[in-house]
A and B are shown apart, each in its own frame.
Chain A
Amino acid sequence: MNDAPTPAKVNLAEEFDRSGVGPVLKQLDDELIGLAPVKQRIREIAALLLVDNVRRKFGLISEAPTLHMSFTGNPGTGKTTVAQRMSEILHKLGYVRRGHLVSVTRDDLVGQYIGHTAPKTKEILKKAMGGVLFIDEAYYLYRPENERDYGQEAIEILLQVMENQRDDLVVILAGYSDRMNTFFKSNPGLSSRIAHHIDFPDYSAEELELIAQTMLQQMQYRLSESAVLALREYIPLRMMQPHFANARSIRNALDRARLRQANRLFAQKNHQLSRQDLMTIEGDDLRVSRVFA
């Protein structure tokens, strides 16, 4: 390793091109709307890893940084989607060896009887080696109301691996902000081992509209002019309602609109349908929603 001649100068832009991270970051920008602070943080992490790689070429010490993360945010703000991209980015930068994502919840880690938890958790950790372990709704691991709960055991094993095998896997804990905060408060050891606490902000009405457009494009639908107006009215109304889950609510609304569109087309049986008819969602398809009531 040390025999390799140290280059006199290195062009960071070239290194960046060679790593293949550029396209992934660009995809992240294009496909995910909003989330400015999240993207900013991912860029920073990518920059750090890239500079570390270059430092290594010059023979400078670059200790593997801790990259365990926590993603907090309201439902439907894109935590899982970003986690998937994250594993790809970390793989491209050579931080994790395989770059696969193992997504688990409490059920996959915690056993049902004494002595069942440790093997179960270790099994999952083995599968996640060389990749990213994504623990969704991580606060369920800790149940303070039951002191004999086996979740604590899983947390202890996780802690040990997070500390000792930092170069083998990256752990991402995700969940809703308020409950994650109490979770971290009651498990200070966990909180201090996580280097990046990333908060996912709620989407604004304009961002949600853009998201709706992208989703429709992927499903090969389009909105008529009246439907665009209806959607613009619909989103702020839906945001006021209880159980609003950002992008997920929008997806559900669009699914219901598709249902109504299909029903409408079916009602006019003898009508000859064109490609346009099949693709277009009319304003009325949206306006029937109970949100407008």
Chain B
Amino acid sequence: MRVTQGCFSFLPDLTDDQILTQVQYCLEKDWAVNLEYTDDPHPRNTYWEMWGLPMFDLKDAKGVLIELAKCRQLHGDKYIRLSGFDSSHGCESIRISFIVNRPAHEDGFRLERVEARGREQRYATRAYSLDRPEGKRY
């Protein structure tokens, strides 16, 4: 099951050229671009591992693509997302975020039914990949 979160996630995966154009757009708006990766696809997992530091003071998108290539080399079997941080006063948060890399095969989620007190029924979603330990999920 295809994980959809952030921008463009209902579109086919972006090509490197398209990513380049998006990043250039971010840089022209003076946003700091940042790369993060994870192997836990649950939508509530918001804190992903950072790949290096956010890239401040860049003028050209090529620099980000170099980092992305390096990140893919090491974490090509995980989810990688790219986000643009707007530091201007009044915003100071992420303006854009989209997935730039996903595992070759996405297992999807199962619905777990949990019996609670009385006849109450609770539900949880759990990614199949989480059955395996971290680092061996995809």
Instruction: Kindly state whether residue A78 has any CB partner on chain B within 8 Å.
Output: no
Instruction: Kindly state whether residue B1 has any CB partner on chain A within 8 Å.
Output: no
CB neighbors of B among A72-129 (8 A): 97-98, 100, 119, 125-127, 129
> Which residues does chain A contribute within 8 Å of B55, judged by CB atoms?
126
Instruction: Kindly state whether residue A131 has any CB partner on chain B within 8 Å.
Output: yes
Instruction: Kindly state whether residue A168 has any CB partner on chain B within 8 Å.
Output: yes
Instruction: Kindly state whether residue B63 has any CB partner on chain A within 8 Å.
Output: yes
Closest residue of chain A to B70 (Cβ to Cβ) is A122
Interface centre among B55, B57, B58 (most CB of A within 10 A): B58
Are the CB atoms of A127 and B59 closer together than 8 Å?
A: yes
CB neighbors of A among B49-71 (8 A): 52, 55, 57-60, 62-64, 66-67
Instruction: Kindly state whether residue A34 has any CB partner on chain B within 8 Å.
Output: no
Closest residue of chain B to A100 (Cβ to Cβ) is B59
Instruction: Kindly state whether residue A130 has any CB partner on chain B within 8 Å.
Output: yes
Are the CB atoms of B62 and A130 closer together than 8 Å?
A: yes
* Number of chain B residues close to chain A: CB under 8 A: 11
- Tell which of A100, A119, A129 touches B63, judged by Cβ atoms closer than 8 Å: A129
> Which residues does chain A contribute within 8 Å of B58, judged by CB atoms?
126-127, 129
Distance to closest chain B CB from A99 (angstroms): 9
Question: Is the contact region of chain B dominated by helix, strand, or loop, or is it mixed?
Answer: mixed
Interface centre among B52, B57, B59, B67 (most CB of A within 10 A): B59
Interface centre among A119, A126, A131 (most CB of B within 10 A): A126
Complex Cα spacing A124 to B78, Å: 28
Closest residue of chain A to B57 (Cβ to Cβ) is A127
Distance to closest chain A CB from B10 (angstroms): 31
CB neighbors of A among B63-114 (8 A): 63-64, 66-67
> Which residues does chain B contribute within 8 Å of A130, judged by CB atoms?
59-60, 62
Complex Cα spacing A98 to B57, Å: 13
Distance to closest chain B CB from A167 (angstroms): 9
Distance to closest chain A CB from B53 (angstroms): 9
Complex Cα spacing A98 to B28, Å: 11
> Which residues does chain A contribute within 8 Å of B52, judged by CB atoms?
119
Closest residue of chain A to B60 (Cβ to Cβ) is A130
CB neighbors of B among A115-163 (8 A): 119, 125-127, 129-131
> Which residues does chain B contribute within 8 Å of A126, judged by CB atoms?
55, 58, 63-64, 66-67
Complex Cα spacing A130 to B62, Å: 8
> Which residues does chain A contribute within 8 Å of B57, judged by CB atoms?
127
Complex Cα spacing A100 to B59, Å: 8
- Tell which of A98, A119, A125 touches B59, judged by Cβ atoms closer than 8 Å: A98
Distance to closest chain A CB from B84 (angstroms): 16
> Which residues does chain B contribute within 8 Å of A165, judged by CB atoms?
62
Closest residue of chain A to B65 (Cβ to Cβ) is A129
Complex Cα spacing A51 to B54, Å: 40
Distance to closest chain B CB from A70 (angstroms): 23
Distance to closest chain A CB from B49 (angstroms): 17
Other A-B contacts than A131-B60, A165-B62, 11 sampled, CB-CB below 8 A, are: A97-B62, A98-B60, A126-B58, A126-B66, A127-B57, A127-B58, A127-B63, A129-B59, A130-B59, A131-B59, A168-B60
Return 6 A-B CB contacts under 8 Å, by A number: A98-B60, A125-B63, A126-B55, A127-B58, A129-B66, A131-B60
Q: Which residues of B contact A (CB under 8 A)?
A: 52, 55, 57-60, 62-64, 66-67
Q: Top 5 A-B pairs ranked by shortest CB distance?
A: A130-B60, A126-B63, A129-B60, A129-B62, A129-B63
